[in-house]
């Protein structure tokens, strides 16, 4: 079974929300029926440890870092997944952003 839509989750610094949201709108991510620019987000805590050779957005090499981030969730058409991921990577501040994409099987749009 193929899915017409995917749900995407990313984590970003709070100050990057507007820039990421604008990039998503430009590729029509978050378009649901007669509405666009639809995203949800909530505050969470993230941790990471930059290893030797990394170029972290923040934090020090070989130290556990803890920050408040936003988890942003939205849907996009499966056919637009590649351009949506490219748009995220273009504006995302992290060296290696985590981008989770899940097929949606039971939706009525």
pLDDT of residue 109: 56
∠ CA(74), CA(79), CA(80), 5° rounding?
50
Query: pLDDT tens across 4-53, in order?
Result: 999 999 999 999 999 999 999 999 999 999 999 999 999 999 999 999 99
Residues 6+ apart with CB under 8 A from 9: 71, 72, 73, 99, 100, 102
> Does 107 score more than 60 pLDDT?
no
Domain boundaries, the chain: 17-103
Encoding tokens for residue 61? 């090499």
Q: Are 97 and 86 in contact (CB under 8 A)?
A: no
> Does 61 score more than 70 pLDDT?
yes
Average pLDDT, the chain: 94
Residues 6+ apart with CB under 8 A from 61: 50, 51, 52, 54
Fold category of 17-103 in CATH? Alpha-Beta Plaits (3.30.70)
């Amino acid at each position: 079974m193929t899915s017409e839509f995917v749900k995407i989750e990313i984590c970003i610094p709070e100050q990057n929300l507007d820039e990421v949201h604008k990039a998503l709108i430009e590729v029509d991510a978050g378009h649901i029926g007669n509405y666009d620019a639809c995203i949800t987000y909530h505050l969470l805590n993230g941790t990471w440890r930059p290893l030797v050779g990394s170029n972290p957005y923040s934090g020090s090499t070989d130290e556990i870092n803890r920050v408040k981030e936003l988890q942003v969730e939205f849907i996009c058409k499966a056919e637009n997944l590649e351009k949506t991921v490219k748009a995220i990577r273009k504006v995302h501040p992290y060296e290696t952003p985590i981008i989770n994409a899940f097929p949606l099987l039971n939706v009525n749009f």
